[in-house]
Each structure stands twice: as structure tokens, then as C-alpha cells.
Amino acid sequence: MTGPETTTPQQTEDVEQEALVEDALVEEISIDGMCGVY
């Protein structure tokens, strides 16, 4: 098992980015962005 992790600046930014995404009513994804197709 991995040891305790400290939060890096990148991780903080990721959490903030995710909060923004969750707040927005529209999310864009690529039509190629789902697993299980040719």
C-alpha cells in the first residue's frame, strides 16, 4: 500500500477545476472519448 500523500499544487488545481466543471451546466467531450468502440 502507498504511504500518506501530501496535496500538490497540481492536485489543488485539479480539485478546483473539477468543482468548476461540476458547477457548469454544459460539459463537452470527444465522440472518440469513450472506451469500447473501434
The SS3 of residue 14 is helix
Q: What is the DSSP letter of 31?
A: T
Of the pair 16, 18, the CB lying nearest other proteins is at 18
Task: Report CA torsion sign: 18, 24, 30, 31.
Answer: positive
Minimal distance, residue 27 CB to other proteins, in Å: 4
Binding site for other proteins (CB under 8 A): 1-2, 5, 10, 18, 21-38
| Location of C-alpha cell 500518506 | 4
Minimal distance, residue 30 CB to other proteins, in Å: 7
